[in-house]
């Protein structure tokens, strides 16, 4: 890996020439992703190294340039940096684009304090050899707060570095702070959209830290395709395919035999006959089988600004489910604040569907919310339900 890690001392004298050096070290293991490069301090010595080296040489053509670079790296990280630097330079003459040579030259630049050069070499390595991109990305992340990082990042964005998206995703998945991720993502968005996986990773990290508005901004501005039907509740009529995007619907995946229900978006064949239906004939259908319920059932994150709103939705129950027993609630993210829900007002059923209206008050500190489907108290969760509940036309409108 492109890390400043001690791998042990170099098993040869500093006075050896380059040609003699190749012969002297031909009995060891080479490889970017070998156990040697990922070993702890002390490296590989003794009979195991000799056996492994023999196996390597017998199975593949020997790579003198790559081996020299690896040997130079060992010297660079041990107690003979000057010799290590000379060996790496010699290896670069033999194989300038060898992956191990590129790795060694990047490490050499970092070791010599030439951070800008090291960043460029590590970034090139990630593109030329994607199989070792993770190692190059790890080295880059170490310098994300270094003074040389900003000009490096701006130059790479300007040059349309192909690894921008992959690097952001790698950084997100490997614990980079949210502030660092947004500092890199914001200028990147002005140059290119980000992949769904990258947006979801950074956005979910923001949500987990209570930064729902930041996640919503990223979702709206960074997606390759701008989400349609945004509103305050995304896809509240369920007419768009549920894609798993950051602010799309989230349904429990386990199924009715594990969680006591199944949640699916399906066609309502009688939907066209519903009075007041303005969306189409796709609805959210929750089927209960009488088993104990494991929540959540269905959720969506919201980014409402503080103020007063009206939540409306339609529901249709069948089986032994009391109308209104399964209903929508709103919670703040983080949960330190609570929303204020007024009493539910329900219109008389028409064509099997009932319109529900609830007043919602969002306090000032509640900058992110969770729209969550509730199924009664603790006793009801243990008893479960039998029947089906359908929902449609979920909307949240701000009061004038």
pLDDT in tens, 62-79: 666 665 566 656 655 556
pLDDT winner (highest mean) among 28-42, 170-184, 351-365, 375-389:
170-184
Q: Which pLDDT value is given to residue 182? A: 96
Q: Is the pLDDT of residue 11 over 60?
A: no
SS3 content of the chain, % helix, strand, coil (to 5): 40, 20, 40
Task: Give CA–CA dist 18/10, Å, rounded.
Answer: 14
Q: What is the mean pLDDT of residues 151-171?
A: 96
Task: Give CA–CA dist 367/333, Å, rounded.
Answer: 7
Q: Which pLDDT value is given to residue 98? A: 73
Q: What is the mean pLDDT of residues 233-254?
A: 88
Residue environment code for 229-267, b if the CB has 16+ CB neighbours within 10 A, otherwise e: eeebbbbbbbebeeeebbbbbbbbeeebeebbbbbebee
Could you report the per-residue pLDDT of 379-389, keeping only the tens digit for each?
A: 777 888 888 99
Q: Which pLDDT value is given to residue 22? A: 34
Q: Which pLDDT value is given to residue 303? A: 94
Give residue limits of the domains in the chain.
18-143, 250-398
Could you report the per-residue pLDDT of 193-223, keeping only the tens digit for each?
A: 999 999 999 999 999 999 999 999 999 999 8
CATH number of 18-143: 1.25.40
CA–CA distance from 271 to each of 251, 268, 275, 347 (Å)?
Answer: 22, 5, 9, 18
Q: What is the mean pLDDT of residues 147-151?
A: 96
Task: Give CA–CA dist 23/45, Å, rounded.
Answer: 17
Q: Is the pLDDT of residue 332 over 80?
A: yes
In the chain, the percentage of residues whose pLDDT exceeds 70 is: 71
Nearest to 126 by CA among 117, 118, 135: 135
Least reliable range by pLDDT among 22-26, 83-87, 292-296: 22-26
Least reliable range by pLDDT among 253-262, 290-299, 306-315: 253-262
Q: Which pLDDT value is given to residue 77? A: 55
Q: Could you tell me which residue, 89 or 225, shows the higher pLDDT?
A: 225
Nearest to 224 by CA among 251, 200, 258: 200
Could you report the per-residue pLDDT of 32-72, keeping only the tens digit for each?
A: 333 333 322 233 334 455 565 566 556 556 666 665 566 65
Q: Which pLDDT value is given to residue 280? A: 65
Least reliable range by pLDDT among 79-83, 173-177, 300-304: 79-83
pTM, full prediction: 0.75
Q: Which pLDDT value is given to residue 315? A: 93
Task: Give CA–CA dist 299/374, Å, rounded.
Answer: 10
Q: Which pLDDT value is given to residue 8? A: 31
Copy the structure tokens of residue 324.
């209104």
Could you report the per-residue pLDDT of 102-118, keeping only the tens digit for each?
A: 777 788 788 888 899 99
Q: Which pLDDT value is given to residue 6? A: 32
* H or E element in which residue 251 lies: strand 250-251
DSSP helix/strand/coil, 265: strand
Q: What fold does the segment set 250-398 form as a domain?
A: Jelly Rolls (2.60.120)
Q: Which pLDDT value is given to residue 37? A: 31
């Amino acid at each position: 890996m492109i890390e400043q890690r001690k791998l042990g001392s170099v098993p040869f004298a500093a006075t050896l020439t380059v040609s003699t050096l190749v012969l002297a070290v031909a009995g060891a293991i080479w490889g970017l992703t070998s156990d040697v490069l990922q070993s702890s301090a002390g490296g590989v010595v003794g009979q195991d190294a000799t056996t492994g080296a023999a196996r390597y040489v017998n199975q593949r053509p020997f790579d003198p340039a790559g081996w020299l670079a690896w040997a130079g790296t060992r010297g660079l990280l041990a107690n003979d940096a000057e010799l290590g630097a000379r060996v790496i330079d010699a290896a670069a003459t033999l194989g300038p684009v060898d992956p191990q040579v590129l790795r060694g030259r990047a490490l050499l630049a970092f070791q010599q304090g030439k951070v800008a050069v090291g960043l460029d070499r590590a970034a090139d390595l990630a593109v030329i050899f994607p199989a070792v991109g993770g190692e190059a990305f790890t080295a880059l992340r170490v310098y994300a707060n270094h003074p040389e990082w900003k000009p490096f990042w701006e130059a790479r964005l300007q040059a349309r570095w192909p690894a921008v998206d992959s690097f952001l995703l790698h950084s997100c998945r490997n614990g980079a702070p949210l502030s660092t991720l947004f500092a890199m993502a914001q200028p990147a968005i002005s140059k290119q959209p980000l992949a769904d996986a990258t947006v979801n990773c950074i956005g979910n990290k923001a949500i987990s830290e209570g930064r729902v508005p930041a996640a919503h901004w990223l979702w709206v501005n960074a997606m390759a395709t701008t989400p349609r039907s945004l509103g305050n509740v995304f896809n509240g009529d369920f007419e768009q395919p549920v894609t798993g995007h950051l602010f799309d619907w989230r349904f429990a995946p386990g199924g009715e035999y594990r969680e006591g229900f199944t949640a699916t978006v399906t066609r309502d064949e009688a939907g066209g006959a519903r009075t007041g239906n303005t969306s189409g004939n796709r609805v959210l259908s929750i089927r209960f089988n009488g088993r104990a319920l494991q929540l959540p059932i269905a959720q969506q994150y919201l980014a409402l600004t503080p103020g007063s709103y009206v939540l409306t939705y339609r529901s249709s129950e069948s089986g032994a489910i009391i109308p209104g027993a399964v209903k929508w609630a709103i919670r703040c993210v983080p949960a330190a604040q609570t929303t204020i829900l007024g009493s539910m007002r329900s219109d008389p059923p028409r064509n099997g569907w009932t319109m529900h209206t609830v007043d919602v008050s969002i306090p000032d500190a509640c900058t992110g919310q969770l729209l969550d489907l509730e199924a009664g108290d603790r006793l009801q969760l243990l008893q479960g339900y039998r029947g089906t509940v359908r929902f449609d036309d979920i909307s949240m409108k701000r009061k004038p």
